A and B are shown apart, each in its own frame.
Chain A
Amino acid sequence: MKHAEVADVEIRLLLEGVQQIYGYDFRDYAAASIKRRLTHWLAESAFDTFSQAQSRLLREREVFESLLRGITVNVTEMFRDPEFFRAMREQVVPFLKTYPFVKIWHAGCATGEEAYSMAILLNEEGMAGRYRIYATDINETVLQKASEGVMPIMEMQRFTRNYQKSGGSASFADYYTARYDRAILSAALKKHIVFAPHNLAVDGEFGEMNMVLCRNVMIYFKPALKERCLRLFDSSLLPGGFLCLGLKETLEKRQVGEHYAELSPPLRIYRKRYG
């Protein structure tokens, strides 16, 4: 018992220190997951305790960067949850097409796979040149990777399967060039995507969006931070716009929930009501 309480105190102090020195606020992240990751980071580090790590953590940027890599989980894939992208193609795109131009925000885009998937889908549906995607993340290392658009070639088989399951019927291999062990996404996909840093815990809204996607990001947040994010998305979205969450996230019991109707229930695609 004793031991656990010490670690809890240490973690609180550490997150407080990180917030004050580096401006990254992880105090509102769900405790169980963050503790798992911190404990994992500590075990891999040269430190025995969080207290011992604290001193260098607050003074040496590299130590903090390694902690940051340890506590932000960036796993993602192209066409993750294919059935979601199928619904996007079949049920959402027809609405988007009624606009001359649409703006889309991927909040928590990680290494960009989700945003690139969306670009592929929109191009295939005849919307090339009629959209702009803003893809943001707190972690600048992953954003750098995202803007390069280079992925391990061994992932491509899985991504191709996802793509096909999502209703894609073109040749997926046409979207990248293989170079040794890497797949380089075609320039046509990058053209309409802007990658930028944005921290959901402190930064402001993106105006006049037709669609906001924030999938598998808020499940790690405490309720108050979730509410903050949802207010942010709500004020960014135009009436009639779409809000897409991860498959295990819902607007049920959320303050903004009443402004939305769920489009295709298990897939967490919500449409903002008019007025």
Chain B
Amino acid sequence: MARSFQAVVIGVSTGGVSALAKLLGQLPAEFPLPILIVQHIGPNAGSGLVKLLGERCLLRVKEADEQDEILPGTVYLAPANYHLLVEHGGFLALSADPHVSFARPSVDVLFESAAEVFGPDLIGVVLTGANFDGSRGLRTIKERGGVAIVQDPADAEAQQMPQAALAATGVDYVVALNGLAALLQELASQCATSPRQRGGRDD
């Protein structure tokens, strides 16, 4: 199917720092899609994760600010204590609404709002984690025609989050962390070579 992906969203919890460092470290500087990430962090976490990931990869990594324009080849991390959402028009939004799925930032909030805006042009990825956040969001991504990827639970430091996602929805790929960067690049390059198909939607 020819499509034109517009973003990758990633949800990750326990074990996330090393998983993200590994994944992002394997992506080339010219990776064409924006990557939006919710990593569960405590309410008082500083910007240490942004710095650490920035040092481990070739992409630009930043903490998401309200009204940031979503740019290709940039990694946006949800700030501690705020939900990260996608707004129509390709902008980010933050919210201090109550916790969702026991988390703030919550993966479900990011996934659902991104699915809303990007529809089939979205790639959703659930990685290691010891809770259930992200499974409802991944199901929404699938319902909107997007692509769902889940880390193979056997490969994950904490299996519960990938398992919950697999139980919640049919997914397109179950992969080990090691193969994920290559898969994302392959999916992203399809969008570079195939003409933009809008499937009857016009905007």
User: Beyond A1-B119, A31-B88, is A73–B66 a contact (Cβ under 8 Å)?
Assistant: no
Chain B interface residue bracket vs A: 20 to 34
> Which residues on B sit within 8 Å (CB–CB) of A4?
116, 119, 144
Q: In the complex, how many angstroms separate the beta carbon of A202 from the nearest chain B beta carbon?
A: 22
Q: Can you sample 15 A-B contacts with CB below 8 Å?
A: A4-B144, A30-B85, A30-B95, A32-B86, A32-B116, A33-B97, A36-B112, A73-B97, A75-B96, A216-B96, A219-B66, A219-B94, A219-B95, A223-B67, A253-B67
The 9 closest A-B pairs by CB, nearest first: A32-B85, A32-B113, A33-B95, A30-B93, A216-B96, A32-B87, A73-B97, A248-B94, A219-B66
- Report yes or no: B86 in contact with A250, Cβ–Cβ below 8 A: no
User: How many of A's residues come within 8 Å of B, CB to CB?
Assistant: 20
Minimal Cβ-Cβ distance residue in A for B113: A32
Q: Mark A231-255, 1 if CB is under 8 A from B, else 0.
A: 0000000000000001011100100
Residues of A within 8 A of B (CB): 1, 4, 30-33, 35-37, 73, 75, 216, 219-220, 223, 246, 248-250, 253
Complex CA distance for A220 and B95, rounded to whole angstroms: 7
Q: Which of B67, B79, B93 contacts A33 (CB 8 A)?
A: B93
A73 touches B93 (CB 8 A): no
Q: Which residues of B contact A223 (CB under 8 A)?
A: 67
With A31-B88, A73-B96, A248-B79 known as contacts, the answer to whether A36 contacts B109 (CB < 8 A) is yes
Question: A36 near B113 (CB under 8 angstroms)?
Answer: yes
Q: Give the residues in chain A near B94, CB-CB below 8 Å.
A: 219, 248
- B79–chain A nearest beta-carbon distance, Å: 6
